[in-house]
Structure 1
């Protein structure tokens, strides 16, 4: 019975872990599918697509009807003079030139722009999710480190208390170690608070609570790909250049005014013949407003051209900065973890061993505590370098791809 209960508990534990432990890509995909801001952008894409169809449509015709020469003394008399008639008419605005084609092209540009905006926001969200997840993992590493250090300090305190019995350590030494323990305890409490904040921020981004997320925090040599031409932000700027150049052509084309064509059928008394009126109204482009609007659109296109060069330079430089940060953090972490920290670990073991078996009246507690502080400092520095590494890696997700 006990064996069956233990089996059920183990299966339940594994099932719970499989439910709550998720891979980052799964978290990102779920966040993209549920994020309300992204859903709003998807609706704007559908709206822009409808605008393409709308841009190609002519204006609806106008139906009009009425009666001429109504007599005030008797409105029913419709045979007093030839001009008395009832009419029905139709007016239609007929587009001239390439305006409709250009309007459709502008609408297609807006449609493509809306898709690029969505792609850009998805990259921003993915980058931010990775940043928060790495922050959570590294805070957890710091908490685990502080917990282990507190255990080491507690053992050191026991050692000093044992030495104190034989007058080889002082009460001051013990108090200093207790103070160091309390300082670590305060720092650990602050880290736990930071951990809760990061988890809440991640929940706000993903709309989901996570017990655990499967992601490695092992450092490896990475190379960022400097390929910015396909980035949604760069493509947005290029598409805006196209759009405003087309808008300039569209404004120029407006000088070829659309024609307002009208036809009316007039029905008169039987002793007169019915007749039809045909009219054509053409707005005159004589004040130059179309030229001004065309120039404004051209200026806007040139503004985006300048922005394109500036953005490409910023992206290229940012990728270089991120690469340098990753390389420096990787080198520093490796140096700390493989060279400096092992030396201080060895020094600490040597000091403890020396003092434990020393025949001196007093042990060198100051050196013990000083070395322990140095060891703590360098272990925290190692995690700081990991923080720099993974923060830069998270930011790089927005800018470019990574080669491992």
Structure 2
């Protein structure tokens, strides 16, 4: 009955477990940080619509020639009038299109920020998941070594009566067991913090990851460098160039003043009413517009330099992370194909003396070395996968 319940519990856990890609898909739909940017994008649509509007007309109400002796009498002379004036500014040709182009360029920057946030969120979910899987593997390995160490202690105790060295060997094994307990508690604390972080990233509690730490042959450095321009942060620097250039165009057009028309209706008591029309524009004679245009042109140059600098920094970051990935991959291969077989051979050489109880101390020492190698192998696998996740992020891949 207990076996059946155990198998049932494992089956339920496996059914509830989700892959890292599934966790990423869920988070991309639910995470509030992404919803915040979506609201900003919606707001930019309203600003784009607004950019095509003319400036609001101005209305002026005027009452002239108020006589202090008789302020309510509005029929003393023909100069006394009440007027309504409406003033409308007309944008110079191309200014509305320039404003819309500038606003759309700003929206593209926010779109790039949205892509950056999505990819960064996916990267964080991957790296955190790999850390959880790493700690889970470490705890599993330590659990196995606890059992072996307890068996060693029992063997030492069995030989205590006939071997004076068995007691000290038994104490050494007990110290090893204590160190395993301490290491296990530290890993459990790290596991809790990483699980809390993953719950925030995915916006879901009690997450079970179905993936395993599995290594694939690494791609070439050329592959990652060829995908460099897909990086959304690099796209953002290019979008910022377009914003700066659109702003420069607006400043250039501001050198052409907007004309305005003012129409007035004048009412006079006991006299005929009349209307007036005025046309005017500002006089750009102080050179402010030229200075603004020159400043905007220099901002375009600054944005272009920033994009070139970011591209160079991005290439360097890809090379650095690729080197870390290759290092982890080579360390794993050395441990897996060289160190572990040699250590296993040492166990086989000492197997006869270990079984007779003659060399249990050597066995304990070999056991500690094997534990260290097992953990280093797990670390190398997790570090390799975290580096791959970072490289995916750098070339703009979510999955």
With normalisation by structure 1, the TM-score equals 0.90
What does 1:93-242 correspond to in 2, within 5 Å? 93-167=89-163, 169-223=165-219, 224-226=223-225, 227-242=227-242
Alignment partner, residue 321 of structure 2: 322
| Match for residue 395 of structure 1 among 386, 390, 394 | 390
Whether 1:383 and 2:378 are equivalent positions in the alignment is yes
Structure 1, gaps ≥5 residues long:
none
Judge conservation of contact 2:119–2:396 (CA < 8 Å) in 1. no
Partners of 1:401 and 1:241 in 2: CA distance:
20
Judge conservation of contact 2:153–2:173 (CA < 8 Å) in 1. yes
Judge conservation of contact 2:13–2:208 (CA < 8 Å) in 1. no
What does 1:58-77 correspond to in 2, within 5 Å? 58-77=54-73
Partners of 2:37 and 2:236 in 1: CA distance:
15
Judge conservation of contact 2:231–2:396 (CA < 8 Å) in 1. no
1:10 shift after superposition: 6.8
Deviations 1:77-130 (A, max 9, x none): 333222222222211011113222111110000111111111101111110110
Structure 2, gaps ≥5 residues long:
none
Alignment partner, residue 83 of structure 2: 87
1:71 shift after superposition: 2.8
Partners of 2:110 and 2:257 in 1: CA distance:
30
- Return 369-378 or 70-79, whichever deviates more: 70-79
Alignment partner, residue 359 of structure 2: 364
Partners of 2:8 and 2:383 in 1: CA distance:
39
Structure 1 residues 399 and 345: CA distance shift in structure 2, 3 A = same
| Match for residue 78 of structure 1 among 71, 74, 78 | 74
Partners of 1:385 and 1:248 in 2: CA distance:
51
Judge conservation of contact 1:97–1:256 (CA < 8 Å) in 2. no
Deviations 1:181-209 (A, max 9, x none): 11111101111111011001111222211
Aligned partner of residue 225 in structure 1, secondary structure: helix
With normalisation by structure 2, the TM-score equals 0.91
1:138 shift after superposition: 0.6
